[in-house]
Structure formats: structure tokens, C-alpha cells
Amino acid sequence: MTRKLHLFMTSALASSVAFGAQAQDNSVTVVLSEELEIVEPCSSTKSNVGRVLFQNISETVTEMDPHTGLQPRLAESWEDKGNGTWRFTLRQGVTFSDGTDMRADDVAHSLVRMKSPDIACEIGAKFFGGIEITPNIIDEYTIDVTANPAQPILPMLMSTVTVTPSDTPLDRFVDHPIGTGPYTFDEYIRGQSITLTANPDYWGEQPTVQSATYVFRADSAVRSAMVAAGEADIAPNIALQDATDPAMDFSYPNSETVFLRIEHAQAPLNDVRVREALNLAVDREAFVGTILADGTLLATGITPPSTIGYDADLKPYPFDQDRARELLEEARADGVAVDTEITLIGRTNNFANVLETMEALLAMYQDVGFNMKLEMVEVAEWLERYAKPFPENRGPQLIEAQHDNANGDPVFSMYFKYHSEGQQSGLTDPVVDAMIADATAATGDKRAEKWSELFGYLHEESIADVMLFHMVGFSRVNERLDFTPSIRTNSELQLSQIQFN
Amino acid sequence: MLKFLGTRAITSAISLVGLVLLVFFLSRLTGDPTGLYLPLDASEESRNQFREIHGLNDPLLIQFFNYLGDLIRLDFGDSIRRSEPAIDVVLRGFGWTLQLAAVTMSLVVFFAVIVGSLAAFHVGGVFDRIATFFSLIGASAPDFWIAIIAIVIFSVNLGWVPTSGTGTVWHWVLPVSVLFIRPFGLILQIVRGSMITALSSAYVKTARAKGIKNRPIIFVHALRNALLPVITVIGDQAAALLNGAVVVESIFGFPGVGKLMIDSILQRDFTVVMAAIMVTATAIFVMNILIDIFYSILDPRIRY
């Protein structure tokens, strides 16, 4: 019996050493919250796909850096040729992981493929919807790209375009992505793990991390436990309650903004006083450090403060219940149906403590006299109410939404959220439409100025929505790594930026 | 016996067809999956393309008959979410679930039968009280809580076993242990109750009077007669495990069919939902037939 016990303890000790050890000195293990449904570069703007593929396997034509702005990546330079056409000069000496050279025809093919009608590419649908893109190869390393309608920010849009070889099929997704990035896609054991290894022929500097394994665990507590136990090195996106170790846990603005979308066509929400009252009735500061994480910022606009044109001088609406009640009384006196029941709609599991947040909002609105009820719905039902065409006979609704913009420019948000034709817009305001068109067409400082004007108009004059919070994300990083998560960690995780302590 | 098997196969097939009908139309009632797969900002043109690719533009009845036509050729269709054959996705997950269920139920049956029999033999004694106490706790404790606590204690603090995953035999220790607790508690109680009745029966008294030792009395004479109700409960518990241990699969990163089914329902991945339900239903039908056969082996009075 004693011998058996010794044997068990020895085995247990040996196994604990094995589990505790990191894979190899220069390898990392990343534990993700969900498995990748596809490993398709043209869908790598999906956060779960992007964390594995984006800039690791598949590189983009340009690269948007939140700190330094738009940078070269596979294109060394670009220039505006007028009439919606931009000329991109590509980097020479770049090869794909299958050994072929990267040339202009690959970029042209990637642009055609992302708009292919036979596959639903995320990048094409998300960033190039309604835009006709025509590539024109000038020579092996020069390509003209024409957008119709003209896109003054086409070089920025090209920061989303992942380049794949010209023989990549147009009618189906790939299951073994080929790219020019610093890593090659080695193995995908479905349901279990993905392995990448450093690309020895990479055109740029060799990364310190020589291989990476991605595993998938749905539960945040398990992901954080894996890093604590030494089984994983990075756990992006853990829950607030699991971020308990200051030595390993990082909080950072995660580029998500939470707000209540108001559909202006429905009474009583068509009255600006009612919309102002909706803003004044919320004690935003009471949420921070209680049911939302410390560091959560109060929002005045739909994009995070790092986007160009964000107006830092705008002030969040104060918590003023008396003024909210006065505004409702004024509206009632003018015949506005302020007693109409408003449905407050929340999306289940949208962010940590979303239910508590929605219940607190409901209580605050009822306190000032709104006739309101709360409905929490799952994502599919939420989408049917949030995006056009809106349901018939829906009545007045406030819909909680969380919007992600880590790209640095409000154009990615403003059209869809506020333009009359925008898929999720609750507004039909020609002034806003014109301002969006102006800002979209502008460049440089003028562009920032015009976006600022739009932020101000939406916040103070139109009172378009109830802006709530710029959210904070948490990631756990093993102390052996020299890596600080940032706003981009929400959608990508560039292994080449990781060093070891 | 052959007639019985034939009848059971036919009734199972009829049930399966009913299930296909029910699940096909119920799953479609949940709505259009397009919005879940395309970005919020996708144009109507992109949405229509997506529906066309996945055959969602046709009227529902046409979709159903197309599906049946494919099914006859054993083509379950492609997963919307994963762009690979739905049956491949399901069988991959079902393999893991089957292994997990087989290992867990083998251990459960082995230990529950031994401990339950001994508890019944010493009914009211210390062993019986301890076994009853722990089995009741096991049958009622929430497995998600046990799983998280087990990870914190045995993986993070003691470092004895990995937190999760499937790489080595040690990766199976925690998930199997957590899955073990509830059916063990339940089956132990059934064995105990059934054995108390069996041990007080006349043939056991006769065996004792003939001087037969305790071990053969318990495990040969009484147990065989006490096992019929136990087999029924084992079947129920095994069926529950074959449906997938969703919580345990989620927490321990086991890529089984239970989590796959829940994810597919939430993602409106209709082809995978259909394939998963058909595969698990078929497995449960087969298991039920095996249990019926086992009844007749245990009790010669049962003949089909």
C-alpha cells in the first residue's frame, strides 16, 4: 500500500512539474474564450479569428497603429491619384509561406475575393459594403485601387485587407491559411488547439516568440486559472471577478462603447426634451467601480477617445433627476405622450454584469417618472430589433448596444449608426447625413475638425442616444512575458510584439 | 429476439423521423441566422448572398424536402459556422462525449454497486451512514461549482493535475471526477435500496442458513436480483451523459457534443443541430435496445 502511495505521489509530482512548465523557452500558449469557427484571413476582423491570424499569418496592405497612425505594412507607400484612385507601391522581397513571391496580382486577387459573392467575407461586408473596388495592376509591385464612391480614407481601409496568394479560391473558405506574416499556420486540431511557428523566411525581423499554441476554454475562471497554474501565458478577455492578481492582470480600454440607441421616430422619443431627460436620469458615475470595472470612462461619443476627432471637451450629462423631471413635465404640457411605455432592451451576455447594469438603468428611469419595462434578449432576437428593417408595431424602444471601434477613425462607426441609411441608425436627420458626408470626404486636420463637430452635434443638439461608458477589458499575462495588452488586444494579438522577461 | 430487435428498430426509426420533423421546424422558428454571421454593417446584398449560399432563401417546405433528399444520401449538409460537413463536426464531438461517458459510467457502476451493496449489508451502520451522506451530497451538488473549486484546489494550489484540456490521461482526472459525483450518488442510493429488499428476501435467508459466506451472498445471490432497477437508472444516467455534459465540457475544454449542440442552437447552425440530435438520438436508441437485451440476460423470466 505504501509503495502504491509513493508511486501515485511520484507520478502526481512528475505530472505537476510537466503541467507547470511552459511549453518551451521561446514558445507561448494563448488561451482563448472560443474556438475559431473558420481560419479564413478575409474574416480576420472577427476578434476570435483576428487574434490568431491577423498580422501573425496574414498581413495587411497598410497598418493602423493607435499611437502613430497609419503605417506601411505590405505597401511601402501610397498616393492619391484622384477620382477615387489610390496607388500603392508594394514591398519587394516578400514571400508567402508557400514560397511564392507576394506581388500586385495577389493584392488584386485579395480585393476581389473579399467581395466575392460566393463567400461571406467579414472584411468585405464590414468595411467595403456599398463600395465598388476596382484593382488595376500597374506592374509587379504597383497597384491602383479605385473606390466608387471615392473613399478619401482608402489607405486606412486597406489596413483591414489581408493579402492571400492569387490562387486562393474565390468560392470557398480556406482551412489552411497562407500568408506573408512572421508565422506559419502549422496545425489545427479541431476542438483542441492551433499551432503557429515562426516563419524563417519572413521579410521583417525574426520574432522572439518562435511558436505559439492557442487553446480554447469557454470559462473565464478556467482561463485565468490556466495562466496562474503556468499552463498558459496569455488569457485575453477575462472577467472582472477573475482579474484578482495585480502582478498578472492588466486592464485597458478595450475600444468598446456601451450606449442606449434611441429610435427618434417613435413618440415620445421624438421629443428632444425626453431624450435629454433620458440622459440626465442616469447616474453614470455610480456604475464605475461597482458593477463596472474601475477605469471605465464616461462616454460622450460612440467611439473611444483614441479615435480622431473625438471631442474631449464634451462633458457627459450630469446626474440631475430634478431637471429630468422638469423636462418631462414640460414635454407633457406640450402634449407629448411621455407616459407611453418604453421598452428598455438589453442583450444577454453582452458584457460582464450587463443584467445588473440594465436593472440599475431601469430603476433610475422609473425614479424620474418614465413608464419603462426591461427585456433582456439573446443575441439573435436583439439583432432583429437593433438592425433595419425594424419590427412593425415595436413602440418606443431604448436598445442597449456595445460598439467596437479600434480602427482610429469614426467613419467606421458614424455611417452605420447615425446616417439615415445606416443599418442600425435610429436617426433620419439630413443635417447629420451632410456632416457625415463632409467628414468622410475630408482629410488631415480638417477631417478631425469635422468629426468633432459631428460628435458635438449628436451629443448636445440632436441628443441622438444615451451615451454611457467606454469599457475596460482585462487580460492575464504570465509574468515571464514582457507584454502589455492594449486597446488592440480586443481584436488582434501580434505575437511578434511579445518579448520574454 | 430477432423479432423484438426488428420491432425496436422500426419504432426507433419512426421516432427518429418524428424528431427530424420536429427539430427542423422548431429550429427554423428561432429565426434567420444571417444576422448572426454577417457583421452588423453588412449590406442587404451581402445578406441575400449569404442566404443564397446556405439555401435559406427557399420557402421552408422546399428547404425541408431538400434536406430530406440530402439526408437519404446521408448528406447532412455543411455547418454554417464552420464551413465543413456538419456530420464531421458532430462525430468529432460525439467521439469525445462517448469516451467521457464510457469512462465515467464504468467507474460509477463499479463503485456504486460495491459501495451500495456494502451499505445495504450494513444498513444503519457507520459505513452506510457515511455512504448515504456523501451520495446525497454528490447527487445534489452543482457540478459547475465543484468543477471550479476542484480546479482551484487540485490544479492551481496543489498542481497535481492540469486545469483542463485533453492531452494526457491526467487531463481526464478532473472532468471524470466531477462527472462521476452525481450519477454515483444517485445509483448508489438505488443499489442500496434494491439490495436492502433483496437481502431480506427468503432465498438470501436460505443461503445464510446453508452457511454460505457473506461475499457470495451479496455479490452473487442478492446483487443479480437487485440489479434490474439499477440497470434502468444506469441507462437514464448514461443517456444524459451521451447528450453531452455541457457544463463539464465547457469548463474543462472537452470538445464534446453537448457544448457543440448548445453553441449550434445559439448560433442557429441548423445543420449541426440536426446532425447532433440525430447522432445522439440514434446512440440512445441503440443503448436502450442493449439495456433491454441485458435485462433478459439478468432475468431469464424476461423473454422477447
Rounded Cα distance, A189 and A202, in Å: 25
Beta bridge partners, A69, equal A65
CB atoms B36 and A229 under 8 Å? no
* pLDDT of the residue at A24: 55
B6–A contact, CB cutoff 8 A: no
The answer to whether B249 and B255 have CB atoms below 8 angstroms apart is yes
A21–B contact, CB cutoff 8 A: no
Which residues in chain A are contacts of B53 at CB distance < 8 A?
118-120
Distance of CA B80 to the CA centre of its chain: 26
Rounded Cα distance, A283 and A299, in Å: 13
Q: Report the DSSP pairing between strands A193-198 and A183-189.
A: antiparallel
Distance of CA A64 to the CA centre of its chain: 13
CB atoms A19 and B84 under 8 Å? no
* pLDDT of the residue at B47: 79
Q: Is A337 exposed, middle or buried (0-12, 13-18, 19+ CB in 10 A)?
A: middle
A121: nearest CA in chain B? B38
The answer to whether A417 and A303 have CB atoms below 8 angstroms apart is no
Residue closest to A153 by CA, chosen among A86, A105, A96: A86
Rounded Cα distance, A163 and A104, in Å: 10
The answer to whether A87 and A73 have CB atoms below 8 angstroms apart is no
- Residue B85 is classified by DSSP as B
CA separation, residue A482 to residues A209, A229, A499, A501 (Å): 11, 18, 5, 5
Cβ atoms within 10 Å, residue A410: 28
CB atoms A383 and B35 under 8 Å? yes
Q: Is A86 exposed, middle or buried (0-12, 13-18, 19+ CB in 10 A)?
A: buried
CB atoms B251 and A424 under 8 Å? no
Per-residue pLDDT reduced to its tens digit, A86-131? 999 999 999 999 999 999 999 999 999 998 877 778 888 778 877 8
* pLDDT of the residue at A21: 44
Q: Report the DSSP pairing between strands A481-482 and A62-65.
A: unpaired
Residue closest to A59 by CA, chosen among A146, A215, A184, A167: A184
Residues A417-431 as b or e (16 or more Cβ within 10 Å = b)? bbbeebbbbbbebee
Chain A from 146 to 185: CB within 8 A of any B CB: 172-173, 175
Q: Which residues of chain B have pLDDT under 50?
A: none
* Closest Cβ opposite residue B42 in set A12, A16, A129: A129
Which residues in chain A are contacts of B31 at CB distance < 8 A?
380-381, 384
| Chain A nearest C-alpha distance from B108 (Å) | 21
The answer to whether B97 and B241 have CB atoms below 8 angstroms apart is yes
Q: Kindly state the cell numbers that stand for B224.
A: 443479480
Best probe of the A interface among B91, B98, B155, by most A CBs < 10 A, is B155
Q: Report the DSSP pairing between strands A211-216 and A27-32.
A: parallel
B258–A contact, CB cutoff 8 A: no
A47: nearest CA in chain B? B39
* pLDDT of the residue at A137: 96
B42–A contact, CB cutoff 8 A: yes
B160: nearest CA in chain A? A16
Chain B from 66 to 85: CB within 8 A of any A CB: 81-84
Rounded Cα distance, B79 and A178, in Å: 23
The pLDDT averaged over each successive group of 10 residues in chain A (501 residues) is 45 44 75 87 86 95 80 95 94 95 97 85 79 93 92 87 95 91 93 93 95 92 93 90 91 90 94 97 95 92 90 95 97 95 91 91 97 90 83 90 84 86 87 91 85 96 96 93 85 91 88
A447–B contact, CB cutoff 8 A: no
B93–A contact, CB cutoff 8 A: yes
A14–B contact, CB cutoff 8 A: no
Per-residue pLDDT reduced to its tens digit, B162-212? 999 888 899 999 999 999 999 999 999 999 999 999 988 898 889 888 888
* Closest Cβ opposite residue B164 in set A129, A226, A383: A226
CB atoms A219 and B251 under 8 Å? yes
pTM: 0.80
B29–A contact, CB cutoff 8 A: no
Which residues in chain A are contacts of B46 at CB distance < 8 A?
120, 124-125, 129
B152–A contact, CB cutoff 8 A: yes
| Cβ-proximal residues to B30 (8 Å cutoff; 6+ apart), any chain | A380, B265, B268
CB atoms A191 and B92 under 8 Å? yes
A216: nearest CA in chain B? B253
Which residues in chain B are contacts of A377 at CB distance < 8 A?
none
* pLDDT of the residue at A13: 42
